[in-house]
Amino acid sequence: MAALRFILGDQLSRDIASLSDLEPGDVIFMCELMSEATYVRHHKKKIAFILSAMRHFAESLEGEGIEVDYVRLDDPQNTGSFTGELKRAVVRHAPQRIIVTHPGEWRVLEEMKTWESRLGIPVEIRPDGRFFASLEDFRRFAEGRKELRMEWFYREMRRKTGLLMEGDKPAGSAWNFDRENRKSLPADMKLPERIGFQPDETTRMVIELVDGGFDGHMGKATGMGFPVTRDEALMALDHFIEACLPFFGDYQDAMKEGAPFLFHSLLSAPLNVGLLCPREICREAEDAWREGRAPLNAVEGFIRQILGWREYVRGLYWLKMPDYPKSNFFGADRDLPWFYWSGETDMACMAAAIGETRENAYAHHIQRLMLTGNFALLAGIDPAQVEEWYLAVYADAYEWVELPNTHGMALFADGGLMASKPYAASANYIQRMSDYCTGCRYSPKAKDMQNLCPFNALYWDFMARNREKLGANPRLGMVYRTLDRMDKARMNTLRKRAREFLNSLE
């Protein structure tokens, strides 16, 4: 047999590099692995989504007449690891070479690099061509810069791809329409219906398998409605472009009780496993603007997430690994509170974000950044524990995208490599951007400390205790001027309340 082509669970694309020169006689290899499902306690809907998408991808390749060697999770011979399963496949097929695509996680790349010597056959690791920027492109961008900022990278990417460009100028004469994209949601705003995909026989079997095991993992597999085939993913994309994209910009930062999805695309899970390609998503969004179906502030805001942030965090991850997660700028060391797993807290905003995460293996960006992320930042929670949580609970989470977002953007644990200031916010922000506070046992304006929103006490305590590290940051000048004007006794009471609250979590 000529080549064994190994496809990982997040490489489910017909255009993946390892399939580009497929020849008759080659075998495609895929395996479901206990190690991958449990190295963090992934949400059950995430495991079910990935296994179902893997099985459907294998079926579609077989439909083309391609030979696929597919090992299932419940196969009694399954050794449970990439290397173990590859070894067995080599014995079965005696290939002349193995071809794989660069993985999304450092630990897997390290494992892959051992295969050639352990298996005694050539192993070719091909660059993952699903991104706009290669790892080399990003290294070039980063070279010689004192500071890395997404905005500069994004402009380069706009020029390189021609997306939303008019000649050498940005469409609408501005690179960024963020100022228009911070509206709070009117109470009577009608939200679009979302499409969930009904499970077929393959998905039903996977759901049963996952719900029958994985004790201690968050949530339930039952109800998993992510698209699991290319056709379903394309339907989800079309639905987003028609029903949600026109409002995406205006309400990008909004949050609402009982509305987990708002106008977000819900495309990250199918995109990250390869069922969609970032180029087609951005082109479809741009077409919607050019054809007058969506306004520029919405389309630019959306494209920036994919062409800008998504590419930027991937570049940063591979540039800085393996040292990136080792920094801990604030020396944060508190344990992750149990309510991050149970959702049991009387803070209405946190209960909503975590409850919806438990239910859907999804929370939108502002919930991840300004609720669960912001709380962990203010409370000084150990970055490693927070990172493990984000990697486990979201269906779209792989270390290349989760780690920079958590370690850098949400926790500022890298000391400012990823963001120019911490995304720290008090209850004022949450009250302005959501309706959570109306139904909460706490109040942002309460006079007595027991009823005052914990975010307020935690916010001022965070700013005061990190003054040495943050005081010189020009973007926080106003915060520290306000802090200096605050009554000292009030400040002491707030800090005492923050300590009491944090102790009560232990």
Question: What 3-state DSSP class applies to 8?
Answer: coil
Is residue 223 helix, strand or coil? coil
397 binds, among ligand DLZ, ligand FAD, ligand SF4, none (CB under 5 to 8 A by kind): ligand FAD
Q: Quick one: 9 or 249, whose CB is closer to ligand DLZ? A: 9
Rounded Cα–Cα distance for residues 439 and 428 (Å): 15
The site partner of 37 among ligand FAD, ligand SF4, ligand DLZ, none (C-beta below 5 to 8 Å per kind) is: ligand DLZ
Q: Does 406 bind ligand FAD (CB under 6 A)?
A: yes
3-state secondary structure 48-73: HHHHHHHHHHHHHHHHCCCCEEEECC
Q: Does 128 bind ligand DLZ (CB under 6 A)?
A: no
Binding residue for ligand DLZ (CB under 6 A) from 17, 27, 28, 50? Answer: 50
Task: Please tell me whether residue 357 binds ligand FAD under the rule CB under 6 A.
Answer: no
User: Contacts for 342-351 with beta carbons within 8 Å, 24 or more apart?
Assistant: 346/440, 346/441, 346/442, 347/375, 347/440, 347/442, 347/453, 347/454, 347/455, 348/257, 348/436, 348/437, 348/439, 348/440, 348/441, 348/442, 349/255, 349/430, 349/434, 349/436, 349/437, 349/440, 350/375
Number of residues binding to ligand DLZ, judged by CB under 6 A: 16
Closer Cβ to ligand SF4, 10 or 253, answer by number: 253
Q: Which of residues 15-34 bind ligand DLZ (CB under 6 A)?
A: 31-33
Q: How far is the CB of 391 from ligand SF4 (least distance, A)?
A: 25
Interface characters, 453-472, with ligand FAD (x: CB under 6 A): --------------------
Nearest residue (CB) to ligand DLZ, 112 versus 413? 112
Contact, 5 vs 18, CB < 8 A?
A: yes
Give the shortest CB-485-to-ligand SF4 separation in angstroms.
Answer: 23
Residues in the chain: 506
- Is residue 387 near ligand DLZ by the rule CB under 6 A? no
Using the rule CB under 6 A, which residue among 19, 27, 37, 294 binds ligand DLZ?
Answer: 37
Among 48, 98, 108, 157, binds ligand DLZ (CB under 6 A): 108
What φ, ψ does residue 259 adopt, rounded to 5°?
Answer: -130, 80
Whether the bond into 122 is cis, omega within 30 of 0: no
Beta bridge partners of 452: 443
Query: Where do runs of H (alpha helix) occur along 219-332?
Result: 230-239, 245-248, 268-273, 278-290, 296-303, 311-320
Q: Which stretch binds ligand FAD (CB under 6 A): 135-143, 309-317, 335-343, 453-461?
A: 309-317
Please report whether residue 301 would count as binding ligand DLZ according to CB under 6 A: no
Q: Whole-angstrom Cα distance, residue 413 to residue 404? A: 10
291 C-beta neighbours (distance < 10 Å), count: 8
Q: Concatenated DSSP letters for 183-219?
A: PPPPTTPPPPP---PPP-HHHHHHHHHHHTS-TTSSS
Residues 385 and 258 sit within 8 Å (Cβ to Cβ): no
The yes or no reply on residue 138 touching ligand FAD (CB under 6 A) is no
CA–CA separation, 420 vs 474, rounded Å? 10
Q: Taking CB within 5 to 8 Å according to partner kind, which of ligand SF4, ligand FAD, ligand DLZ, none is near residue 347?
A: ligand SF4
Member of 4, 17, 28, 47 binding ligand DLZ (CB under 6 A)? 47
Residues in CB range of 100: below 8 A, 6 or more apart:
5, 6, 8, 18, 112, 123, 124, 125, 126
364 binds ligand FAD (CB under 6 A): yes
Closest distance of CB 59 from ligand FAD, Å: 25
Tell me how far, at minimum, the Cβ of 103 lies from ligand DLZ, in Å.
4
Report in angstroms how near the CB of residue 9 gets to ligand FAD at its nearest: 15
8 lies in the binding site for ligand DLZ (CB under 6 A): yes
List of residues contacting ligand SF4 (CB under 6 A): 347-349, 427, 430-431, 436-437, 440, 442-444, 453, 455
> What's phi and psi for 3, nearest 5 deg?
-125, 145
103 near ligand DLZ, judged by CB under 6 A: yes
C-alpha radius of gyration, the chain, whole number: 24
Binding partner selected for residue 401 from ligand FAD, ligand DLZ, ligand SF4, none, CB under the kind-specific 5 to 8 Å limit: ligand FAD
By CB under 6 A, tell whether 254 contacts ligand FAD.
Answer: no
Q: How far is the CB of 329 from ligand FAD (least distance, A)?
A: 16
Select 8 or 313, whichever has its Cβ closest to ligand DLZ.
8
**385 in Cβ contact with 35 (< 8 Å):** no
Concatenated DSSP letters for 105-121?
A: SHHHHHHHTTHHHHHSS
270 near ligand DLZ, judged by CB under 6 A: no
282, 369 Cβ separation under 8 angstroms: no
Span from 95-103, 137-145, 360-368, 477-485 in contact with ligand FAD (CB under 6 A): 360-368
User: Which residues does residue 5 pair with via DSSP β-bridges, in sequence order?
Assistant: 28, 99
Q: Which stretch binds ligand FAD (CB under 6 A): 346-354, 403-411, 436-444, 490-498?
A: 403-411
3-state SS assignment for residue 100 = strand
When asked if residue 269 is in the footprint of ligand DLZ (CB under 6 A), the reply is no
Nearer to ligand FAD (CB atom), residue 165 or residue 419: 419
φ and ψ at 30, to 5 degrees? -140, 145
Q: Buried (b) or exposed (e) across 366-382, using 16+ Cβ within 10 A?
A: bbbbbbbbbbbbbbbbb
Contacts with ligand DLZ by CB under 6 A lie at 8-10, 31-33, 36-37, 42, 47, 50, 103-105, 108, 398
Contacts with ligand FAD by CB under 6 A lie at 264-268, 271-272, 302, 305-306, 309-310, 313, 364-365, 368-369, 373, 390, 394, 396-397, 401-402, 405-406, 409-410
